[in-house]
Structure 1
Amino acid sequence: MTNTIFRRIAYGPFLLALASCGGGNPQQGGAGGGEMGAGPPPLVVAMTVRAQQVPNIVELPGRIEAVRTAEVRARADGIVERRLYQEGTDVTAGQPLFRIDPRDLAQQVEQSRAALARSEAARTNAASVVRRYAPLVSERAVSAQEYDQAQATLRQETANVADARAALARARLQLGYTIVRAPIAGRVGRAQVTEGALVSASQATLLATIEQPSPIYAVFTQSNAAILDLRQAGAASTPLSQVEVRLVLANGRDYGPVGRLDFADQVVDPQTGSQVLRAIFPNGERLLLPGQFIRGRIAMGTNPNGILVPASAVQIGERNASVSVVGKDGSVAPRPVQLGGQVGGNWVIKSGLKAGERIITDGWQKVQPGQKVQVRGDPAPAAAQQTQGN
């Protein structure tokens, strides 16, 4: 028993060394086993790239902005007594939003009304003096100087009446500002002040903000060079109002209604070389909110020799995008490409591919660079091979 255990211990390292040298299963090929242990080439689906007419699409990041925005600010001094609207609701132009304590301004109205009454009384007295002096001037009972002085006093009192009336109208106007009204129709946001807050007309205290929900703007920024390329590619004669724009929301879904460009800034930012484009969209369902991040797909002209490939064929990495190209001998090579916009479920290829080349649309995940594959779905027609040879 002891001898048997000793022999197992003695021969153990030898058997392990023999197994590591390939003495195990002869059907298992190592890393350098070559073709002897290799399986059949992977089966993939490929397509031949063909030139076709595609729209020139550029994707731009942008933000949503309201067509009309109004900041509701205090135009009277006083304490806010009450908020007269519900936050986040639609309001009409002229609708009351806040009420400011009117008592001080109401007293100013009464004071101005009293001042007007004094001015009118003084004017009435001056007018009666002029009427009494008029027949006495011809009889030399009143000197001409006294008569001229009476007429000047009447004119002065008449001016005082006009000044008092203007002061009364201004006091009434200020009193009217104690009811703060919506300057435009739209959706009003949350109140910036609460009941009991002291607001100031001189400091123009912000009370709330109103934004028109529909239609709405999408504002984009793009390099001037890219915009020039698009125009030179065939959109130079297209009126701005006929350029269609589609939006992709922050959750990746497409926004249904189609917008159109309505403004292109005529000034290029000298620091960034960028230019501002703006599109207008209907917003009946109010999915677009001011400040919201979106991506716009702007179609400007068409490219008669464009290339479209399925999205499943594109491998998007951190720095670039690529496709797997099948050569004449069936071997696969990665090819970096420059992507344009998306048309349906296809990517527009701006550079990196040419007509007649074959790319893998399904199965590229199981293929290594340089490995040969079996192609299903596209037998590499002779016309395509001839195009590649040329």
Structure 2
Amino acid sequence: MSKRSPAILLLSLGHACVDVYQGAVAALVPFFVTEHGYGYAAAGGIVLAASLLSSIVQPLFGALTDRWAMPWLLPVSTVVGGTGVALAGVTGSYTLTLVVVAVSGIGVAAYHPEAARVARLAAGHSHQAMGWFSLGGNLGFATAPLLVAGVVATGGLHASPLLVVPALVGAALCVAALRSVRIAAAVSPAAAAPAGRDDRRSFLLLSGAVVCRSIVFVALSSFVSLFAVQRVGGGETVGTAALFMLYIGGAVGTVVGGSLAARHGRLPVTRWSYALSVVAVAGVVLVPGPLLFVFVVLASGALYAPFSLHITLGQDYLPRHVGAASGVTLGLAVSIGGLVSPAIGALADATSLRAALVPLIVLPAVGWLLLRPLREPALPDVVARH
């Protein structure tokens, strides 16, 4: 085991604890619908609240971490992210629910750029090591519906304060990770910046593709539980199972994508994944019956296979602004998908949920077109000596 492995493992586990709260918002939606009688648009509004401020402040945190090392953000933002979700079930009003979920989104936004910077230093620019860091986030997503179901299905929304526990564990893991890689974490980003020029055009094209992918995944996260109940029946248990499959398929996809990229290159694997996503998402929306679950797993695997590749490609396209690149590829481009959820919910209220999800089939194809002109970036000369 390399000296960097313990730090990457701790960072990955901490990432899992943070991304529980990105997945938890979508997992709470069916309970808000059943306990409070919210419509699709109102449910989408909760997802929007978690994404809107997060999307706005994410580039700010990325810019800040490009100027100053702020490793203390990792445990602090983890606790903030968890506290917001923990309060969501006990606020007593829709408005206060939106506020605390928005606070959670800010915590998640603050975490990702600095965590990606520290992970990049700890990984020594290994794509596979960054893949393990990304996998932690995917596992957090996957755990969220089980955690929410275990807590809220048993005690109702008033039991939501128990959801703060992963944040406390995650904060402790972040502190341990920073101790393990404390020299690297303290290096000034400016001092560690590699030689090379920023390729802004390629980064913008990549970001556009990631936004397309984000809209699809966040929309599925928001509504696949309700959609599965409509298509298959069986109540909230079926909905929780569909959401879990969506998230766990993403975790598998991340590992497979990293392994394939080591053999075939990042861009080919990324393009193949977007092409496969078109077919898989079409299957989720259009194929009837229990086959829905097969296509959910296939879609999530295809959508997440390029996830860690997005991060390293973005960092390599903007070698002088790694924090900003991480804030976009790991944070902003993910959370921005939540901005579309209320529109999808409103369309579902006006027509049907199935009709509202049909446009998602086209978006991975748009992402594939944006990726076509890209070329593999030159490997930065890095590296921070530590």
Q: What band does the TM-score fall into relative to the shorter chain?
A: under 0.3
Which entry has the higher C-alpha Rg, 1 or 2? 1
TM-score (norm 1): 0.18
TM-score (norm 2): 0.19
Per residue, is there more helix in 1 or in 2?
Answer: 2
